């Protein structure tokens, strides 16, 4: 799928030529300080990476990172080029799974490029469903980044912050879905459902993956904030990133709470399982003791020795049966009182 390119002049969208090359778009952005270009690669191929590397004159290590997906969020600087890896998330309630979409972002003065590594946009929508390259309108997928003319006038950093803000806001529905599943799991635990343990483990794994994404993104935001003075970031953009940081802090706190809650639920479930097993063992032991008494009497009188007391006694057989029943009933009453049965 061809990349989607947007030209911005003084914060306003300007028609961009169809199928414009990466080098030509950079040349346009370099023509004046009030210009900016945003390029989104829906499915970056090896050729796309090569064309980006040549036009941006990227460091070989950075090119290697662009070729490899499956990375945690991070921020690296190569001269005037900033490289970020960020991960958006959505919750699939039907299978109780957190689905991540990875984005590689390149930024330099007057230019920003977003490479979608998982065929999905920030909101989880498939890239193929987004509008094709449009010359003078904001497509559905671009609306998140390009709908504020004031911020667009502040340069590519504003677009980057809008991207981060959209990703962080996307974590909220995920947290709500995980919270609902946590409540359902608590109900299962106290109802004695034996299948709940596996569900706890699976949900804990999803929470851990989300925690990795959010904590790593916190490091990225902290690195951006650390460069405010050095790279002369405008005050309005600093306030915007601070807002993103505040939202991310709340998300990270909630993720930590979920992880701790699931750990506690798992501990409670293990305790309840152990209690139920103890109750079962009590019942098994009680019945074993009850059955042991008549078995002992039957074993003694089943040895068939000639010289045994009461062996030829008329009342020996009914008395043995009565002893068996009496002992069994007595033990059953005792165990009942001790709540073993």
- C-alpha span between 307 and 304 (Å, rounded): 9
Report strand pairing: 97-108 vs 111-116. Answer: antiparallel
Identify any residues that bridge with 204 across adjacent strands, giving them in sequence order.
none
Residue 112 pairs in a beta bridge with 38, 107
> 173 vs 329, which has greater pLDDT?
173
CB atoms within 10 A of CB 241: 20
Place of tokens 């040349």: 27
The count of other CB atoms within 10 Å of the CB of residue 124 is 17
How many C-beta atoms lie closer than 10 Å to residue 246's C-beta? 11
Q: How far apart are CA 220 and CA 164, in angstroms?
A: 10
Average pLDDT, integer, range 152-167: 85
Sequence-separated (6 or more) residues with CB below 8 Å from residue 45: none
**Region of poorest pLDDT, from 51-55, 74-78, 144-148, 168-172:** 144-148
CB count within 10 Å of CB 245 equals: 18
Q: Quote the pLDDT of residue 216.
A: 92
Write out pLDDT tens, residues 29-72: 888 888 889 888 888 889 999 999 999 999 999 999 998 888 88
Q: Give the side-chain half-sphere CA count within 13 A for 276.
A: 12
Please, are residues 335 and 341 in contact by the beta-carbon 8 Å criterion?
yes
In angstroms, the CA 152 to CA 161 distance is: 11
CA–CA gap between residue 309 and residue 142 (Å, rounded)? 100
Query: Which of 112-116, 221-225, 274-278, 331-335 has the lowest average pLDDT?
Result: 274-278
**pLDDT band at residue 233 under the 50/70/90 scheme:** low
Strand order in the sheet with 4-9: 12-14, 4-9, 35-41, 111-116, 97-108, 81-92, 74-78
pLDDT above 70 as % of the chain = 87
User: Is the pLDDT higher at 192 or at 162?
Assistant: 162
Higher pLDDT, 141 or 294: 294
Q: Cβ contacts of residue 228 below 8 Å, gap of 6+?
A: 238
Q: What letter would DSSP give residue 133?
A: P
For 234, list phi and psi in degrees, rounded to 5: -65, 150
Give the span between the Cα atoms of 70 and 214, in whole angstroms.
15
Of residues 106 and 154, the one with the higher pLDDT is 106
Secondary structure element (H or E) that encloses residue 66, with its range: helix 60-67
278-330 tens-digit pLDDT: 776 777 777 787 778 788 777 777 776 666 776 667 777 777 788 888 888 88
Residues 6+ apart with CB under 8 A from 314: none
Query: 73 with 85: CB under 8 angstroms?
Result: yes
Backbone angles phi, psi at 12, to 5 degrees: -115, 140
Q: Which of the four pLDDT bands, split at 50, 70 and 90, describes residue 140?
A: very low
At residue 9, does pLDDT exceed 80? Answer: yes
């Amino acid at each position: 799928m061809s990349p989607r390119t947007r030209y911005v002049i003084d914060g306003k969208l300007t028609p961009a030529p169809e199928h414009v090359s990466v080098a030509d778009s950079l040349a346009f952005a370099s023509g004046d300080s009030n210009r900016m270009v945003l390029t989104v690669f829906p499915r970056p191929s090896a050729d796309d990476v090569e064309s980006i590397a040549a036009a941006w004159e990227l460091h070989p290590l950075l090119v290697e990172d662009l070729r490899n997906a499956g990375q945690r969020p991070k921020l690296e600087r190569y001269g005037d080029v900033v490289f970020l890896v960020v991960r958006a998330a959505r919750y699939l309630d039907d299978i109780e799974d957190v689905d991540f979409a990875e984005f590689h972002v390149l930024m330099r003065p007057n230019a920003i490029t977003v490479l979608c590594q998982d065929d999905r946009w920030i909101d989880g929508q498939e890239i193929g469903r987004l509008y094709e390259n449009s010359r003078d309108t904001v497509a559905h997928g671009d609306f998140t980044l390009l709908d504020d003319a004031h911020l667009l006038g502040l340069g590519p950093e504003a677009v980057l912050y809008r991207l981060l803000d959209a990703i962080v806001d996307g974590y909220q529905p995920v947290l709500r879905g995980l919270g609902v599943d946590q409540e359902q799991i608590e109900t299962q635990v106290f109802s004695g459902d034996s299948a709940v343990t596996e569900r706890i483990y699976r949900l804990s794994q999803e929470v851990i993956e989300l925690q990795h994404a959010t904590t790593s993104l916190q490091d990225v935001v902290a690195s951006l904030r650390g460069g405010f003075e050095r790279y002369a970031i405008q005050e309005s953009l600093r306030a915007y990133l601070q807002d993103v940081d505040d939202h991310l802090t709340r998300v990270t706190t909630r993720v930590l709470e979920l992880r701790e809650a699931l750990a506690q639920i798992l501990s409670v479930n293990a305790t309840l399982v152990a209690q139920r097993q103890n109750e079962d063992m009590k019942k098994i032991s009680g019945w074993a003791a009850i059955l042991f008494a008549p078995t002992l009497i039957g074993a003694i009188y089943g040895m068939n020795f000639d010289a045994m007391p009461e062996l030829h006694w008329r009342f020996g057989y009914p008395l043995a049966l009565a002893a068996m029943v009496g002992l069994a009933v007595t033990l059953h009453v005792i165990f009942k009182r001790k709540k073993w049965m």
